[in-house]
Amino acid sequence: MENPKVLFISQEINPFMPESELSLMSRHLPHGLHELGVEVRLFMPRFGCVNERRNQLHEVIRLSGMNLVIDGADHPLIIKVASMQNTRMQVYFIDNEDYFLRKDPIRDEHLVPYADNDERSVFFCKGVLETVKKLRWAPDIIHCHGWMSAFAPIMVKKAFADDPLLAGAKIVYSIYDDDFRVLMSPNTKRKIIMTGINKKDVELLKTPSYLNLTKLAIQFSDAVVTCSRHISPDVCEFLSAARRKNVYDIESQGDYIDAYSRLYNKLLIGSGRRRRFRSTPPPRKTATRPSPAKVRAVQAGIPPAQPISPTAEEPEITPNNAEPCAE
C-alpha cells in the first residue's frame, strides 16, 4: 500500500515566521505526519520578513519562470525552497516582488491591510497549484491553513477540476483567529474569475469580507477544522448552521496528529482511495548480524555458497560433524 500524500498550503510556517497558532500547527502537523511515513509538501508565501540568507533559501530554476495572469496583468512566479530545521522536510516559497517583498505580511505601516491582499491571495494559491502540476505530484489531501489559502478550494474544485493530478484530492480548510476585519478590494470578485470559475461561483464575494471569504472556502472544502479558541463569532454561527459539512474541533483533542490521521482516513475511505494514514510510525529495518561462517568466508574471499576450506586452527569437517554452509 502506497504512503498517502498531503499538500499543505499555509499562510505562515514556523520557524520562517514568528510563533502563532497558525505557524506552529503548520510546522508540527506536517512533521508529525512525516514521522508516520506520510509524503508531505509545504508551501507558504515568501514574505519580505523571511530572511533568505539565515534560512538558506534558494531559487528552484526549473520551477520558476511562469507568468500568472491576475486581473488581466502578468506577474512572474518565482519558486524558492529551504529545509526546515531538525527535519527532513522542505518548504516551498511562492515569491513575487510586486506582492511579497513588503516587510509586513498583511498590513502597511499604519496597520491597515494592503489594498491588494485579494490579488496576493489569488496569486499565492494559483502559484501553489501550478507548481504542484510542474512537480507532477498528485496529493491525496490538500490542507489549507489561514485566510490567504482560502481561494485554493474553489480553484481545485473548479479551475483545476479536469487536471488528473489535483481532481481527486480531498480538501481540508483550517480556520484560525485571523480575521482581517475590513473589506477587501471591491474588485475581488472579478479577480478570482478564471477558466472554470464564473461569477455565479463567487457570488459570496459581492461583499468581500473575511466572513464571506471563509464561507467560500468552506463551501468548496470536504472538511473544516477549527483551530483556535477565538474564531470570529460570525464564522462560528455559520459553522453551526452548516451541519451538512464535516466540521471538527481538533484543537481541543490531545493527540492531534492521530486525530488528523483519522480525519484524513475518513476522507480517503469516502473517496475510495486505498492509501491510508498510520497511527504509529512505520517499523524500522533492523540490521541482521551475519553468521561466523559467513564472516570467515568473506574474509577469505570465498563465495558464501562454497564450503569453507579447513584450516590449521579448525578440525576438518567430516560426514559425522558436517553442517550446511550458511548462505
**pLDDT tens digit string along 184-242?**
999 999 999 988 899 999 999 999 999 999 999 999 999 999 988 888 889 988 888 76
Residue with grid cell 489549507, as numbered in its chain: 144
The pairing of strands 73-83 and 66-70 is antiparallel
Question: Quick check: 35 and 28 in contact, CB under 8 A?
Answer: no
End-to-end CA distance of the chain: 31
Q: Name which of 64, 243, 22, 16 is nearest 150 in CA terms.
A: 22
Q: Is the pLDDT of residue 324 over 80?
A: no
Q: CA-CA distance, 178 to 231, in Å (whole number)? A: 8
Question: In whole angstroms, what is the distance from residue 167 CA to residue 154 CA?
Answer: 12
Q: What is the percent of the chain with per-residue pLDDT over 70, rounded to a whole number?
A: 80
C-alpha cell at 248: 471538527
Instruction: Name all domains of the chain by residue range, CATH numbers in brackets.
Output: 5-271 (3.40.50.2000), 288-327 (no CATH)
Question: Dmax of the chain from CA atoms?
Answer: 95
Q: Compute the mean pLDDT over every residue in the chain, rounded to the nearest whole number.
A: 85
| CA 277 – CA 143 distance, rounded (Å) | 15
pLDDT tens digits for range 30-66: 999 999 999 999 999 999 999 999 999 999 999 998 9
Q: Is the pLDDT confidence value at 326 over 70?
A: no
In whole angstroms, give the CA distance from residue 68 to residue 116: 15
Do 179 and 212 meet the contact criterion of CB atoms below 8 Å apart? no
C-alpha cell at 311: 584450516
Q: What is the pTM of this model?
A: 0.83
DSSP classification of residue 245? S
* List of residues 6+ apart from 325 with CB closer than 8 A: 293, 297, 304, 305, 306, 307, 308
For 62-100, what is each residue's pLDDT tens digit?
999 899 999 889 999 999 999 988 788 999 999 999 999
Q: Of all helices (H) and strands (E), which one includes residue 170?
A: strand 170-175
Grid cell at residue 270 = 469516502
pLDDT per residue as tens digits for the range 116-169: 999 999 999 999 999 999 999 999 999 999 999 999 999 999 999 999 999 989
CA atoms within 13 A on the CB side of 208: 20
Residue 246 pLDDT exceeds 70: yes
Residue 302, pLDDT above cutoff 60: yes
For range 7-29, the mean pLDDT: 95
**Per-residue model confidence (pLDDT) at position 297:** 64
pLDDT at residue 117, as a whole number: 96
